[in-house]
Chain A
């Protein structure tokens, strides 16, 4: 089972919007609305940002949003801020009580 495909890096200026894609197959992303996104700052544990494709944990900023089309899920961050600079990982349910991560995307805020 190969990792989900994410771009290695994306960048944007403060205030701009960026989108990170996460491409899987019809056996994982395409079959289940169980895609989640995690933010990880250096040396820290990951933090949940989006789950079930579009849901945000309570209290989290609404600058983060998720979507899905076919076998590709996406995370959009609007109004980029310096503290958004981090690594981002998607994760999808893949059936039979298994999960699969994307390779991760490094977001740079210029």
Chain B
């Protein structure tokens, strides 16, 4: 069965960077796009961007341009999301999700990774 397993919780200081991983299993990794979203405490979902695991091409939401980098490692079927210049407002649960073939629909979700930014 399709599974997306994310890395564990992180605590970072303002100004630092965080890199969250999302390991895929149960399907052909390079066939489906992976998206990243986040959800601040008590707030709604925000779409951050998308990566095509096949060629590595990406598209990011305007508000994260310049601070976010999404990459993948096809040898381990893992995608990564790195967010730099962290500030307290970046404290959130970060989710990866897989679509069903460039349909821009989140059919499968990771369990979420809590990133806390605090001095």
Contact = CB atoms under 8 A, between A and B. Distances in A.
Interface of A: 1, 3, 34, 36, 38, 40, 45-48, 51-52, 57, 89, 91, 93, 96-104
B44 interface: yes
B104 A104 contact: no
B46 interface: yes
A1 B62 CA distance: 8
A45 B62 CA distance: 24
Nearest to B35: A99
Nearest to B100: A51
B78 interface: no
B11 interface: no
B107 A48 contact: yes
Contacts, number: 60
B59 A104 contact: no
Contacts of B111: 45
Contacts of A46: 45, 95, 106, 109
Given A45-B112, A98-B61, A99-B35, A38 B47 contact: no
A100 B45 CA distance: 9
Contacts of B112: 45
Interface string B53-73: 000000101110000000000
Residue from the set A1, A38, A99, A100 with the largest chain B CB neighbour count within 10 Å: A99
A34 B109 CA distance: 18
B105 A96 contact: no
A3 B103 CA distance: 20
Nearest to B43: A104
